[in-house]
Structure 1
């Protein structure tokens, strides 16, 4: 998490395709002709002029069957360190029986944000549910192909499904994520949200899909206004078509087109059009169910706890430094002006906490350096909910303090 990006990317926040270090591996051309650009070096517009003159009205997120707006809670404390762009936060202690917040603080809990890689927690849950249903095996193995490879580093051929789940959470491996997402089915991951009534939450697209769409490589998205408001089977059919569009292209070609998009005229509203989405309140509700009421077998629960604990966040929590965390599951995500950190932890005295931090449209194009600032705010909110979490002194510091106290005695 703390590794600096290559010099050429420190001001870009792009997704680096490490596979290109092996020159010539993907030297063949795309399986279909590249769409024509609207300007030299720039991808075509995300939405073409064809289709309805205006998108249909958005579904009411407070309609019957939806979770609805967040309850009124105490305002979150101001961020201790500056954070730019649109910000959202929900930190709550939840009742393990009802999953309702016992005490919570929030800022913009119902605003919709791009999830970036934090959505991968939902993929893990969908995998575990199908494992319990007997429809997949942790020892099933997969090959890496031009179609299923996404941006960034990727696993070896014949990696097992269990190891792909580890790479997805621990390494934030996009190819591992996409293989798992497609293996369980696009609809299965979306169902994780739909079954909970999270009507503002979209989890249906694998990572390569949203990048290809943002790069102007999805004819499906360019031909319809229905995507943003589609639900149910209509959304499933559109997502499958978008996924088919993305799999036509080599990942290095998607990367180049994505770079051209960012260089030309990247807009924050495009993120909301193509990325997986949620609100701080809804995603925290998803995590409360995933970690406190997952309805998993003992074997699947062990798998969940082992893998989820590898996600980033535990070491950044002040409650951890106070030696007050017994269980943890979490994940972070970042993109062009996007940063997200979400997770769950249990304290030694049995209190259950969920948190969801979301940033969109940051001043920084590469947002990973904002991690400390993000967790400073998360920790301040946790202190409001649980009481101040005081880090334990380092053993050497404790020894020096005792020695100093001994010398001070008369």
Structure 2
């Protein structure tokens, strides 16, 4: 497969480690045909909220299997509520799936993640994409990173995170289960308050994100999204739900220059982190996917990082247009 470095410079203001991979895929088999990259696309980096489409797609597979229904209700409690805005009361699977993508709602994602089974999802993702690690709910990694689970992470959180990150998969999976259980004894507002203190205090360690968060590489995650976001593993009804939800996700160009029939997209952001992934079907029947991973940025505020989304998305579209010309 031809693969070449992109010749396009990154937008002004982007700092830190950036790795990017975009490829064209054979529409039926979803095998890569050609690709462009920036940096080191096989380096492991934190995904931030990019893992949420996997949670939604697997929940919809359980709908197909009869284990869940689109109208199955889930109730937000103090134990399962994560940080930031959350869906109060009881909400259906379909409502939570849309919130997890459109609003990047952490609680909505966690409710579906817990219902599917974190260990089950972790093992399936590892089988589908060995370079991708999805072990923790959002509340679990944030509570661990904020230093709120010393019994599991050790009192020195950064050192505990390095030990966790270095564990073999099965041992790490056991630790992840302990972190998830312990995080449910903390409230969402408590986790959020402690995170603010952690990120602005002396305990912050830049390597904690890659040790604690769900991770992948730009190349591996692009390939995984090319197999996930078309919805080919779902039945027609749930496939339509997935594609409708993902077509409302952040972020894509407001007025795409590419003539597309479907653009699934998801973004993630955090302390010095901006991540973007997507899958695109063009009007002439071609299929593309991409992943952009940026960590270690000197821009530390999440809202400031999000201001980079529009120029970076435009840069990604330029890369996809370049790939499209290469036929």
Q: What is the root-mean-square deviation in Å for CA atoms of aligned residues?
A: 1.9
1:340 aligns with 2:275: yes
Kindly indicate whether residue 293 of structure 2 is the aligned counterpart of residue 358 of structure 1.
Answer: yes
Is 1:181 matched up with 2:119? no
- Residue 334 of structure 1: how far off its partner (Å): 0.2
TM-score by length of 2: 0.90
Residue of 379, 388, 391 corresponding to 2:317: 379
Instruction: Output one character per residue of 1:338-391: Cα deviation in whole Å (capped at 9) or x when no partner.
Output: 001101010000010001011001111121111123113212211220139xxx
| Matches of 1:118 and 1:211, distance apart in 2 | 15
Give the CA deviation at 1:260: 1.5
> Given the alignment of the two structures, is residue 294 of structure 1 paired with residue 206 of structure 2, yes or no?
no
Tell me which of 175, 183, 191 is aligned to 1:246.
Answer: 183
Q: CA deviation at 1:287?
A: 0.7
Question: Aligned residue for 2:139?
Answer: 208
1:133-282 alignment runs, 5 A limit: 133-196=65-128, 198-218=129-149, 219-222=151-154, 227-265=164-202, 266-282=204-220
| C-alpha distance in 2 between matches for 1:302 and 1:379 | 25
SS in 2 for 1:90: strand
Q: What does residue 326 of structure 1 align with?
A: 261
> Structure 2: how far apart are the matches of 1:376 and 1:213?
35
Change (3 A) 1:359 1:234: same
* Aligned position for 1:12: none
Structure 1 SS opposite 2:114: helix
d(CA) in 2 for partners of 1:328, 1:192: 25
Note the alpha carbon deviations across 1:187-230, whole angstroms, 9 max, x for none: 2322342222x222111211011110111122212286652244
In 1, are the aligned partners of 2:231 and 2:243 still within 8 Å (CA)? no
Q: Secondary structure in 2 aligned to 1:264?
A: coil
Residue by residue over 1:309-356, the C-alpha shift from the partner in whole angstroms, topping out at 9 and shown as x without a partner, is: 11012335xxx5236110121100000000011010100000100010
Gaps of 5+ in 1: 1-70, 389-410
Sort the Cα spacing of 1:232 and 1:85 in 2 relative to 1 into closer, same or farther, 3 A. closer
CA change 1:259–1:283 in 2 (3 A) is same
Structure 1 residues 167 and 382: alpha-carbon distance in aligned structure 2, compared to 1, 3 A threshold: same
Unpaired segments ≥5 residues, structure 2: none
Map of 2:57 onto structure 1: 125
C-alpha contact 1:81 1:376 (8 A) present in aligned 2? no
Partners in 1 of 2:240 and 2:146 — Cα distance? Answer: 39
Q: Work out the CA distance in 1 between the residues paired with 2:10 and 2:269.
A: 21
The alpha carbon displacement at 1:232 in A equals: 4.7
